[in-house]
Structure 1
Amino acid sequence: MRGAMRTDVIVVAAGSGQRAGEGMPKQYRLVGGQTVLRRTLERFATHAGIRRVLPVINPDHADLCAESVIGLPGVLAPVAGGATRQASVRAGLEALASDPPDLVLIHDAARPFVSARLISDAIAAAQSHGAAVPALALVDTIKAVPEPGFLSGGPNREGLRSVQTPQSFHFALILAAHRAQIGRNDLTDDAAVAEAAGHPVAGFAGDPANVKLTTPEDFVTAERNAAADLTDVRTSTGFDVHAFAPGDHVMLGGVRVPHEFGLTGHSDADVVLHALTDALLGTIGSADIGHHFPPSDPQWKGASSDQFLAHAAKLVREAGGRIAHLDTTVICEAPKIGPHREAMREKIAAIAGISPARVSVKATTSERLGFTGRREGIAALAAATVRLPWID
């Protein structure tokens, strides 16, 4: 069965991940600004050898899943999993059966660092053997526990391997094997299901980086690994200006600042947030604020500008990026910015989902030159620095 073969992926994401500690199910926790599930799905969705990707989820997490798949190509609507991993995989296989692939890869959502090499090797191994799993040689000595607190001799590690996912199969083979094992709940992975149905399972080289996130400590390590992947550092600028109009305050950096005038604009005319929004959009090449929030659209009339900056920050996260720094300079003769600087930093940080330590707010006058010097309005300059995965 050589040549181009249609390959689909089932990503098993129906578990609760209780060993990961309190909080969200582990597949929806953030690593490097993205959910674990999105990171996993993206690895397969962007691989040239993959046709479709099917998440299998807990129906109670449908909204969380929907947020994780926005913009990903080839990701199918999720199907509901079962009470066990075996039941969840079978649900995914049955969902694909109406338009079956030639090959299917089955992968744990909690392994978000699966590499393109491992995916390609899994496809090739399934073509050659019908059933195959990635495996790693054991590096630690394995001991038995004859009684609590004591160790004794264990198995010979030379004859043992630890296995990973994606496990890969001819689709018809693994579907029939799962159907034949309905009612059994003691099979811990799909290789075991295939073996129980009488199919030999080949091994191919796994990847030590393809770790499964299980404990809280795993997430600490994953965060470090994700940061190490963000080698594309980009900086972009933004600029905005609004004229004074009758009023008793201006909005600057999301903060209401008392003043003898207001600012005119279609939204709340917050020049600081507008300039920062354009700067963030520039880092990912996503046009400008007017493209995303057209002034001609009445829904943005009088709108709070915090939603503009929040939208730009969300787009950066969806691109796999992290905001490293936001900087703005307000240009005006009045009002005074200093008394409100820290409140602005706190507000901008909260909107963008970063620490206030990553936000800088400065102010200057134009020495009574130009429209700002004549007290006709306020301008703001901004710069944003983000870290993104390197893409050629």
Structure 2
Amino acid sequence: MTFSAIVVAAGTGSRAGGAKQWRLLGGMPVLRRSVAALRDAGADPVVVCIPADARQEADRALAGLAGWIAVAGGADRARSVRAGLAALSDQPADRAVLVHDAARPLLPRAVIDALLDALATADAAAPVLPVADSLRRDDQGRVGETVTRDGLLRVQTPQAARVGALTAALDAWPDAVSPTDESEALRRAGLTVAQVPGDARLMKLTHPEDFAMAEALLASTERRITRVGHGYDVHRWGPGGAVWLCGVEIPHDRSLIGHSDADAGLHALTDAILGALAEGDIGDHFPPSDPRWKGAASDAFLAHARDLAAARGGRIVHADVTLICERPKVKPHRQAMRDRIATILELPLHAVSVKATTTEGLGFTGRDEGLAAMATATLDLPE
């Protein structure tokens, strides 16, 4: 069955300690996991409802994924879903649509398939789980009376319906209150919402401790490997009054010559990350024949490699750069270089190393004709 999807990601995530949709889970942004699961199941398009000022964050989290559309979400869930449905206004009224919380990133394909199958005989469908824990009322900080759990269900997302039916149900909902989810609005409109089996992995990331639980679930189900990449770059000296090394501008009596800013340290590190990803080299992604990169800051190249790793669900674990030159002296600037690389790669400082050495007067670097850089990057990646 062909279907579309809406992913609600416009919340602030205050209970989770911040905007959880952009946080990494197993090396991949939470939002990306939800969108990728729906795309892999055949959703086209996936409408992503985000905060109005968060397009840059969405572009970065979903870089490399096709078939998604970003729209500004509303003040509550229902308004966000309405915005998502508006983006699907060109779809037939009977087209299936799945509405999903971005904060439920561990979405199994079996749940999606069950929801779509249920639409063959029902107006809508939602995944549910039984309530396992005993229920009590709160009695001013004490454990109060028992509430029977018989007949109670935990309702998850995605929730499935038809575009036209869901639009009409939300339009008919009174503005004074907001439905807790789509199934409530659909039921109020007189439609049948079928149950399909939910999945414990579809837990909603609500509190900070939920991320630790989700990481543990991933670790038990997702096989990962460590890859190491190596990079090497050389630039010759030319006229100038400063040199860029590892993202830091250093006053000098000459400059390095290159199509971009000739930052050999960042070029080597970019190649090291690309090597670990088996994604070619820096020239494949930023060809020197392209005038867009003339004089460009190499920060952008390194950030691109970082984002490629994130798009694969990878995590950069460690970066090590060695600069080989007679001049300038690197040690006075080494801390600033580490700080800059750590900032670009979003790593703790202790995961970044910058070193320098000479060749004791031997070779082109010993003759002070140019500067060389070597780098190693260690990545944790899904197998």
TM-score (norm 2): 0.86
Among candidates 112, 129, 133, match of residue 105 of structure 2? 112
Does 1:36 find its partner at 2:46? no
- Measured after TM superposition, the shift of residue 239 of structure 1 is 1.1
What SS does structure 2 have at the residue aligned with 1:76?
strand
Specify every segment of 5 or more residues in structure 2 that has no aligned partner in the other structure, as ranges: none
Distance between the aligned counterparts of 1:343 and 1:200, measured in 2?
Answer: 62
- In structure 2, do the counterparts of structure 1 residues 68 and 307 end up closer, same or farther at CA, with 3 Å as the change threshold? closer
Contact 2:44 2:68 in 1 (8 A): no
**Which residue pairs with 2:380 in the alignment?**
387
**Which residue pairs with 1:16 in the alignment?**
12
- In structure 2, do the counterparts of structure 1 residues 81 and 304 end up closer, same or farther at CA, with 3 Å as the change threshold? closer
What SS does structure 2 have at the residue aligned with 1:341?
helix
Distance between the aligned counterparts of 1:177 and 1:388, measured in 2?
Answer: 43
**Which residue pairs with 1:46 in the alignment?**
40
Tell me which amino acid in the other structure corresponds to 2:204.
K
Q: Equivalences for 1:208-219 in 2 at 5 Å?
A: 208-219=200-211
Contact 2:100 2:159 in 1 (8 A): yes
Distance between the aligned counterparts of 2:178 and 2:248, measured in 1?
Answer: 58
**Which residue pairs with 1:139 in the alignment?**
132
Distance between the aligned counterparts of 1:260 and 1:184, measured in 2?
Answer: 70
Among candidates 160, 167, 184, match of residue 159 of structure 2? 167
- In structure 2, do the counterparts of structure 1 residues 202 and 337 end up closer, same or farther at CA, with 3 Å as the change threshold? same
Contact 1:133 1:168 in 2 (8 A): yes
What SS does structure 2 have at the residue aligned with 1:117?
helix
Identity %: 48
Contact 1:103 1:127 in 2 (8 A): no
Among candidates 258, 262, 271, match of residue 265 of structure 1? 258
Does 1:190 find its partner at 2:182? yes
**Which residue pairs with 1:242 in the alignment?**
235
Distance between the aligned counterparts of 2:283 and 2:39, measured in 1?
Answer: 30
Tell me which amino acid in the other structure corresponds to 1:188.
T
Contact 2:136 2:144 in 1 (8 A): yes
Tell me which amino acid in the other structure corresponds to 2:227.
R
- In structure 2, do the counterparts of structure 1 residues 76 and 253 end up closer, same or farther at CA, with 3 Å as the change threshold? closer
Distance between the aligned counterparts of 2:340 and 2:361, measured in 1?
Answer: 29
- Measured after TM superposition, the shift of residue 132 of structure 1 is 1.8
Q: Equivalences for 1:1-392 in 2 at 5 Å?
A: 5-21=1-17, 23=18, 25-31=19-25, 34-47=28-41, 49-78=42-71, 80-100=72-92, 102-145=95-138, 147-183=139-175, 185=177, 187-222=179-214, 229=222, 231-247=224-240, 249-257=242-250, 261-390=254-383
- In structure 2, do the counterparts of structure 1 residues 273 and 9 end up closer, same or farther at CA, with 3 Å as the change threshold? same
Tell me which amino acid in the other structure corresponds to 2:234.
V
Tell me which amino acid in the other structure corresponds to 1:218.
D
- Measured after TM superposition, the shift of residue 261 of structure 1 is 4.4
Greater Cα shift, 336-345 or 305-314: 336-345
Distance between the aligned counterparts of 1:57 and 1:304, measured in 2?
Answer: 30
Give the length in aligned residue pairs.
381
- In structure 2, do the counterparts of structure 1 residues 187 and 250 end up closer, same or farther at CA, with 3 Å as the change threshold? closer
- In structure 2, do the counterparts of structure 1 residues 320 and 250 end up closer, same or farther at CA, with 3 Å as the change threshold? same
- Measured after TM superposition, the shift of residue 386 of structure 1 is 1.6
Contact 2:63 2:307 in 1 (8 A): no
- Measured after TM superposition, the shift of residue 259 of structure 1 is 5.3
Q: Deviations over 1:26-85 (max 9, x none)?
A: 4344545554333322221232x323211234434444444444332211342x444442
- Measured after TM superposition, the shift of residue 287 of structure 1 is 3.1
Specify every segment of 5 or more residues in structure 1 that has no aligned partner in the other structure, as ranges: none
- Measured after TM superposition, the shift of residue 388 of structure 1 is 2.6
